[in-house]
Amino acid sequence: MSDAMALTESTYYILLSLMMPQHGYGIMQRTEEMSRGRVRLAAGTLYGALNSLCDKGWIIQLPVEDGSRRKEYRLTEQGRTVLRNEVARLRELADNGERVLKEC
């Protein structure tokens, strides 16, 4: 699938949460905080998404530190570009929506 396609809400918030290294539960919390409780990522959905995002190279899994069993993830440069493009796309959607609704 093309990288220029729209991201799902889950993917968008996962990427946003991973500007800083974060483990699974941290991503769930960050997403809930940022969306003020509106978007709640379920663990099964998140697990599948993290694996696909690693395969795509948009995020990477960090080496597991000694004494910690939680895997941490971080956004890659490629992931950052995807995110930037998505924000531009969303802005276009929102701008058009506002403009059209104002006219009527």
Partner 1 sequence: MEKRKTIQKWFWVWEFEKEENWLNEMAMNGWVLESVGFCAYHFIRCEPGEYTLRLEMHPYDEAYVQFMQDTGAEYVGRMMMWIYFRKKAADGAFDLFSDIDSRITHLDKIGKMLTAVGGANLLIGIANTFSPARLGWINLLCATLLMYCLGRIHGKKEALEKERLLHE
Which positions touch partner 1 (CB under 8 A)?
A: 8-10, 23-25, 28, 39-45, 47-49, 69-71
3-class state of residue 73 by DSSP: strand
Q: Which is nearer to partner 1, 48 or 57 (CB)?
A: 48
Residue 10 or 78: which CB sits closer to partner 1?
10
Of 36 and 69, CB closest to partner 1: 69
Q: Is 98 exposed, middle or buried (0-12, 13-18, 19+ CB in 10 A)?
A: exposed
Half-sphere exposure of residue 37: CA atoms within 13 angstroms, side-chain side: 0
In whole angstroms, the minimum distance from the beta carbon of 13 to partner 1 comes to 10
Residue 50 beta carbon to partner 1: minimum distance, rounded to whole angstroms: 9
Cα dist from 61 to 26, 35, 67, 70, 93, whole Å: 14, 24, 17, 11, 32
Write down the residue that tokens 């890659």 correspond to. 76
Min separation Cβ 46 and partner 1, Å:
8
User: Least Å distance between CB 40 and partner 1?
Assistant: 6
